[in-house]
Structure 1
Amino acid sequence: MTAELLSDLNPFVPGDLARLRRDGLPARLGVVIGGSLNDGVLVKLDGDVMVEGVNVGSYVTIKGQTDRKFFGLVTDIRLDTTDAALAQSPPADDDLRMEIYRGTVAYGVLHVKPMLVKEGQGEAKPVKSVPAHFTVAYRATPEEVQEIFAADERTAYRIGASVEDENIEIKLNLERFVERSSAVFGRSGTGKTFLTLPLLASVIRRDLASVLIFDMHNDYGYTLKGDGGRKLKGLKQLNAIRQKVVIVTLDEASSKARGSRPEFALQIGYDQIEPEDIEMLRGVLSLSDVQVNALHALKRRFPRAWVRQLLSDDVPPEVQALFDSNKIVEGTYYAMQRKLGRLLKFDFLRAETTEDFAERVLNHLTRGESVVVEFGRYGNDLPAYVFVANFLTRRIHRRYVEMKEAAEGGGGEEPNKLVIAVEEAHKFLEPGVADLTIFGTIARELRKYNVTLLIVDQRPSQIDAEVMSQIGTRITCALSDERDIAAVFTGVSGAQQLRSVLAALESKQQALIMGHAVPMPVVVRTTEYGEAIYRQFADPLAEASPEARAEINRKKLGRRPLDEGLV
C-alpha cells in the first residue's frame, strides 16, 4: 500500500488533517470497547488510523448515545491483538500480511480519561458517568478545544498553545488563579521563571492582586538572563505595568552592578526582630527546641534589646540572673550566641534603622502596587533568604488579618488580594516545618485573609502533603524524580492516569496545567518569553476591555460619562 493511499485514509497525516479541519469535519479515531469512570475508557482505533499519529495528552471527544458529548484526554496508548500467536510469529517480512493484519487482528488502543461532559447546548460539567460501548471517539477539533478553554477576556491569560496545534490558544482564568494558592513546578532548566514572570505580569496588569516576589536569583525585577546569556526584560521594564512595580533590594552594590533601579534598600533593625523570625531558621542554623525556648525567655527579659544583648560579649546581671534561676542554661546561651553570630555578616541587619522598612513594603502592597525583593549576593545564602522572607511575610500577613477582620466588623475597607511568590518553597513548607511557618498557615487558610502563595519549586516531593493538597492550580514542567512526579498529583483525582502525560513532557516550553484556573488538565507549549510578550505589555490599553478603554480615555481627556459616544 502506497504512502499516498495511506495519507488519504489516515486522519493524522498532516495534509489530510488540515483538509478535514478546513471542511469542518472531525477526525474519527475509533470506538469505545470498555473502561470505567475511575480508570478512563478504552478506545479501539479504526484500521485506517495510525497509532503513531496519536500522542499522550491529545484531546478526544466521544459522542454518547444521547446528545451528550464527553471531552477527554489521552493518557496512554497500547498495542493489542486478537491472536496471541501473532506476537510469537509476526509477519515481519511480508508487507501485504502486515497491512492486512494492522488495524484488524493487530490494533491500537487509547486510554482516554473523560474529564467533562456537555449535554446539548449546556455548559461543560465534570463527568459522573462514562460513554456506552461502541460510541464513537473523535479527535477534538480546534473549535471544541477553544470552547472548553474559553474565558472572560478581562480575566483570561494566554499561557500558550496546544501541543497538537499552535493555532489553538490555551487560556487560564487569572481571577480563579489568584483565588487560591498555586504552584509552578519543574526541574532546573525547564523555564519556570520564563513561565512565571509573564503570568504574574498579567495578574498585575489586570489589577487582580498585588504581588510580592521574593526574588532569590534576581530574575523578576529589572532584567533576567535568557538562553545564551542574552538579557531579557524584568517586570519593571514592561511598559504597561512599570508604574505598578516597586523594586526593593537587600544588596545595593549588586543591584547597581546589574543596572537595576531599586526604590530603596531594605534594612532590618535588631529591635524589630522577634523570636518567631529566628525560629524559622532552626533547620538552617541547627537550633534545638531548648535554644528556641531560650530565645523567648530573652525576649521577655529584654523586649526591645534581646538580639543586641545576645550578640553582645557582655553578660549583664540580668542575664546572669537567668542563668542562676535555670531559665536559660549558660551553655545554651553561648551556643545560641555562636549560631546567631552568623547573622552579623548580613549588611541589611542593623543595630539601628532610620525607619520601619517592612511597613514601607506593606504600604506599597496595600496601595495596590507590587513589590520585588531582590536578594543580590544573599540569594545564594539560604539563612538570609529564609530569614527575610519569613520576617516580611509574618508582618504582612498579620496586617492583612487585622484589615480583614476590621472590614468584616464594619471598621474599614477589605484589603486587596495579595499573591506572595516564593522560590525554593520547600525550605518553608517541608514536613515537620510547614505547621510552624507563616507560609504553611497561608497555604492552609485558603484565601481566608486575601493572601495566597505562588510556590515556585523543583522538589515538590519535599513539600508537606497537606500543603500540596491545598494548592488550587498546578503548572508543572518536566520532572525527573519519581517522588516529585508522584507529589505533584497529591490530592488530584485521576492522578495515576495523568502521570504518563507528565512523564511525556519535553524538557523545555511544555507544561501540564491542572486545577482551579482551568476546566480540565491541559498540556501546553508555553509562549516563549521575549519580543512577542514585550509587545503585549507595550500598550497599556492592548488587553483592556472596551469599557475599560473608554473609562481610561475619559480620565485622560477629562470627559464625563455623558461624553462616552465621543470616545
Structure 2
Amino acid sequence: MIPESELEKHFPANQDNPSTPGIRIGTIVGGSLSKGLVVKLDAGELPGSMIEQLAVGRYVVVQGLTERRFFCIVTDVALEHTNPSVESNPPEATDIIMAEVYRSTLAYGKANVAPMLVLEHGSEEPKPVKTIPAHFSVVVQANEEDVAKVFGKADSDHFYIGNPIEMDQVPINVNLDRFIERSSGVFGKSGTGKSFITRTLLSGIVKSGKASCLIFDMHNDYGWAIKNEHGKEYKGLQQLFDAHQVNVITLDPETSQARGNRHDGALHIPYDAIEPEDIAMLAGVLTLSEVQVNALYFLRRRLGRKWLRKLLSNDENDQSELDEFVQQGDLIKGTLGAIQRKFEIFRRMGFLKTNVSEDIVETLFQKLNSGISIVLEFGIYGDSLPAYMFVANYLTRRIHHRYVATKNKAFGQQGDEPNPLMIVIEEAHKFLDPEISQHTIFGTIARELRKYNVTLLVVDQRPSGIDDEVMSQIGTRVTCLLDNESDIRAVFSGVSGASALREVLARLDTQQQALIMGHAVPMPVVIRTRDYGPELYAEISQQEHKLQSDSEKVAQAKTDLFG
C-alpha cells in the first residue's frame, strides 16, 4: 500500500468532501447575498452532463470554510465558455472526441443558487442566512438528512405534504402549528390541482386536531367524494374522518341525496336574521350603487327585522308601505325599483326561509369550538357567486363575533379559550378586493392575524385581485403554476429574494407541483405534492385507530379507578 503523502492529507484525491454528504456538483466562483451565488459546475461522469442533472428548484448545500453549511435553492442554470471561438467555431456534431475535449476544458455549466439558511458549526437548528460562503467552497446535492434538518421529521406537529424536485424519497413536512398561526393561501391557475393540495393540507390539519376548519365548499370538492377530469373518484374529508371530526352541512339536500353524499344537516337562513351588512359586500356582484346600498340601511331602520321580507313581498300592504317612503321623499322610486329587481336572486335561494327553528350559527359555533370541522356544501348554489358570497359573509360575520366574545371572556378569566378556527374560502379575490377588503369580515380576519383564534385559508386563481395589505398578511403561500404577470407579482409581494424565485415558479409543471414559502416552512421549497390516494387514506386510518385505542385506554383507566 502506498503511504499517504502530507499533501494528500490536506487535499484528498477524492473531490467529495467527507464532511459534506451528497454528490458534488461544483464550486462557488462568485455572487452576493442579495443576488445569489454563482456555481461553476463540475463536468460530471460524462463531460458536460452535470448541468442536465440539475433542475431549477432543486436543493443544494454549500460547505463553507468555517464549517458553516449553507442551504440553497437552484434558481437558474446556464452554459458558459472560456474562449469565444467555442461559439463561432464549435466542434462538428460527428466529432464526438473533440466535443468531449471542449466540454472538459473550454465549455462548462453554471448555476445560480439562492442561499436561504445556514447551519452553524455545532448547531442543530438552521438560521436565516446573513453572509455567504467563500470562493471555491464545495457545492453538493442535498440529501435526506439535509432536508430533515431544515423541514423536520413527520410527527404530530409536522405533516408530510410532498417531495423536493428529483428527490422522490425525501419528504417535505409543513409545520402545522405555524400554518394555522397566520392566514394562508393556495394559488394557481385553473387545472393545476389547487383543490387536491388544499384537501391534502386540510386532512393534515383535521388529523392533527390543532384547529377546526369551516370550509365553504363552492364546487362540492371537500365533503364526501370528488372525481377528477378523467372520472377517477377520490375520497372527501367525510370519508376519511368520523362524525366526531368532520360534519357536512348542505344548502341543497336534494342534490346531496342525488349524488349519494351523506350529510349531517341542512342549512336554512331566516329572512328576518339578514342585515344590510350581509348584502353590502355583494354590491359589485349585484351591481348595487352606493345610493342603493345606503337605501338598504334606511329600510332596515324603518321596517325593522322584516325589511327584506317586505322588500321581496308581493303583498299589497307591504308594497304600500314601501310606496309611502317614496311619496314622503325618503326613497327615490327608481332606487326602490332597481333594488327589488336586483334582489329577485334571493327568491331563488331555496335555503332562505320565513321561519327557521334551529339557530344554525349557534349550532355551527358549538361544533367548531368542540373540534369538529364543517364542510358547507353548496350543491346547485355553487354555480351562483352571489349565493356563495352571501352565505360565506353571513356565517363568517356571526361566527367571528362569537369567537371574539368567547376570547374576551377567556381573557377576563370567565371562560375557556375558543378552539382555533381556520375558515376556507374559494374565489377569495371576490371577498378581498381592494375596494371592499377594508370593510369586510374577511379583510378584518386577515389583518387580525390570530388575535381571536381565527385565520383564513384562501384558495384563488387570481391573487392579483386580492388587496395588497391582505396579501402581506398571508403567512404561508402554496403556489402552483401561474402565467399571468400580475398574479406572479402579487404572490411574491413582500417576499425576500422574490426575483430569484420568479424563475422557479415559472418552471413548475402544470399539475402536482407547487412552490411553498412563508411562515410554515423555514425556506422556500418546490415540491411534487404527495398523491391524494390510498397511501394517505391508510395513514389517516391508522391514526384514527390509534386515537380510538387511546380513548379506550383512558375510558378503561377511569373505570378501573372509579368503578
TM score, norm. by length of structure 1: 0.90
Indicate the SS of the match to 1:342: helix
- 1:294 and 2:295 are equivalent in the alignment: yes
Corresponding residue to 1:363 among 360, 363, 366: 366
1:539 is displaced (CA, Å) by 2.6
Partner residue in 2 for 1:394 = 397
> Measured at CA, do residues 365 and 325 of structure 1 come closer, stay the same or move farther in structure 2, by a change above 3 Å?
same
The CA deviation string for residues 385-406 of structure 1, in whole angstroms up to 9 with x for no partner, is 1111111111111111111112
Single out whichever of 51-60 and 319-328 deviates more from structure 2.
319-328
The residue correspondences of 1:14-93 to structure 2 (distance < 5 A) are 25-48=21-44, 50-93=50-93
1:250 and 1:430 map into 2 onto residues whose CA distance is: 26
> Measured at CA, do residues 24 and 492 of structure 1 come closer, stay the same or move farther in structure 2, by a change above 3 Å?
closer
1:293 and 1:424 map into 2 onto residues whose CA distance is: 26
Single out whichever of 162-171 and 250-259 deviates more from structure 2.
162-171
1:84 is displaced (CA, Å) by 2.6
Indicate the SS of the match to 1:440: helix
- 1:374 and 2:377 are equivalent in the alignment: yes
The residue correspondences of 1:316-465 to structure 2 (distance < 5 A) are 319-465=322-468
> Measured at CA, do residues 154 and 356 of structure 1 come closer, stay the same or move farther in structure 2, by a change above 3 Å?
same
- 1:179 and 2:175 are equivalent in the alignment: no
2:207 and 2:165 map into 1 onto residues whose CA distance is: 27
Partner residue in 1 for 2:7 = none
Q: Is there any run of 5+ residues in structure 2 with no aligned partner, and where?
A: 1-15
1:327 and 1:133 map into 2 onto residues whose CA distance is: 78
> Measured at CA, do residues 549 and 281 of structure 1 come closer, stay the same or move farther in structure 2, by a change above 3 Å?
closer
- 1:484 and 2:480 are equivalent in the alignment: no
Paired residue type of 1:505 = L
Paired residue type of 1:438 = I
Structure 1 moving runs of 4+ over 6 Å: 20-24, 560-563
Partner residue in 2 for 1:8 = none
Indicate the SS of the match to 2:490: helix
- 1:500 and 2:499 are equivalent in the alignment: no
Single out whichever of 87-96 and 339-348 deviates more from structure 2.
87-96
1:151 is displaced (CA, Å) by 4.3
Partner residue in 2 for 1:304 = 305
C-alpha RMSD of matched pairs (Å): 2.3
The residue correspondences of 1:114-193 to structure 2 (distance < 5 A) are 114-122=115-123, 123-151=125-153, 153-193=155-195
Partner residue in 1 for 2:3 = none
The residue correspondences of 1:197-208 to structure 2 (distance < 5 A) are 197-208=199-210
Is the CA contact (8 Å cut-off) linking 2:126 and 2:149 kept in structure 1? no
Paired residue type of 1:84 = P
- 1:225 and 2:227 are equivalent in the alignment: yes
The CA deviation string for residues 218-250 of structure 1, in whole angstroms up to 9 with x for no partner, is 1111111135212221111114x4431111111
Paired residue type of 1:31 = T
1:549 is displaced (CA, Å) by 8.5
Single out whichever of 551-560 and 274-283 deviates more from structure 2.
551-560
Partner residue in 1 for 2:513 = 510
Single out whichever of 342-351 and 136-145 deviates more from structure 2.
136-145
> Measured at CA, do residues 216 and 316 of structure 1 come closer, stay the same or move farther in structure 2, by a change above 3 Å?
closer
Is the CA contact (8 Å cut-off) linking 1:46 and 1:103 kept in structure 2? no
1:323 and 1:541 map into 2 onto residues whose CA distance is: 62
Indicate the SS of the match to 2:400: helix
The residue correspondences of 1:460-479 to structure 2 (distance < 5 A) are 460-479=463-482
The CA deviation string for residues 452-489 of structure 1, in whole angstroms up to 9 with x for no partner, is 11111111122122111111111111222222222211
Is the CA contact (8 Å cut-off) linking 1:151 and 1:173 kept in structure 2? no
Paired residue type of 2:171 = E
The CA deviation string for residues 276-304 of structure 1, in whole angstroms up to 9 with x for no partner, is 11101101110000100010011111221
1:106 is displaced (CA, Å) by 1.6
Indicate the SS of the match to 1:322: helix
2:301 and 2:295 map into 1 onto residues whose CA distance is: 10
Partner residue in 2 for 1:268 = 269
1:550 is displaced (CA, Å) by 8.1
2:388 and 2:550 map into 1 onto residues whose CA distance is: 42
- 1:113 and 2:114 are equivalent in the alignment: yes
Indicate the SS of the match to 1:506: coil
Partner residue in 2 for 1:258 = 259
Indicate the SS of the match to 1:203: helix
> Measured at CA, do residues 128 and 549 of structure 1 come closer, stay the same or move farther in structure 2, by a change above 3 Å?
farther
Is the CA contact (8 Å cut-off) linking 2:478 and 2:517 kept in structure 1? yes
2:530 and 2:103 map into 1 onto residues whose CA distance is: 38
Indicate the SS of the match to 1:422: strand
Is the CA contact (8 Å cut-off) linking 1:182 and 1:471 kept in structure 2? yes
> Measured at CA, do residues 354 and 166 of structure 1 come closer, stay the same or move farther in structure 2, by a change above 3 Å?
same
Single out whichever of 528-537 and 320-329 deviates more from structure 2.
320-329
Percent identical among aligned pairs is: 51
The CA deviation string for residues 478-529 of structure 1, in whole angstroms up to 9 with x for no partner, is 2222222222111111111111111111111111111111111111111111
Partner residue in 2 for 1:104 = 105
Indicate the SS of the match to 1:537: helix
Is the CA contact (8 Å cut-off) linking 1:151 and 1:172 kept in structure 2? no
The residue correspondences of 1:207-222 to structure 2 (distance < 5 A) are 207-222=209-224
TM score, norm. by length of structure 2: 0.91
Single out whichever of 250-259 and 139-148 deviates more from structure 2.
139-148
Is the CA contact (8 Å cut-off) linking 1:180 and 1:472 kept in structure 2? yes
Is the CA contact (8 Å cut-off) linking 1:236 and 1:245 kept in structure 2? yes
Single out whichever of 551-560 and 210-219 deviates more from structure 2.
551-560
The CA deviation string for residues 303-324 of structure 1, in whole angstroms up to 9 with x for no partner, is 2111012112445665445334
1:28 is displaced (CA, Å) by 1.4
Partner residue in 2 for 1:552 = 551
Is the CA contact (8 Å cut-off) linking 1:45 and 1:103 kept in structure 2? no
Indicate the SS of the match to 1:157: strand
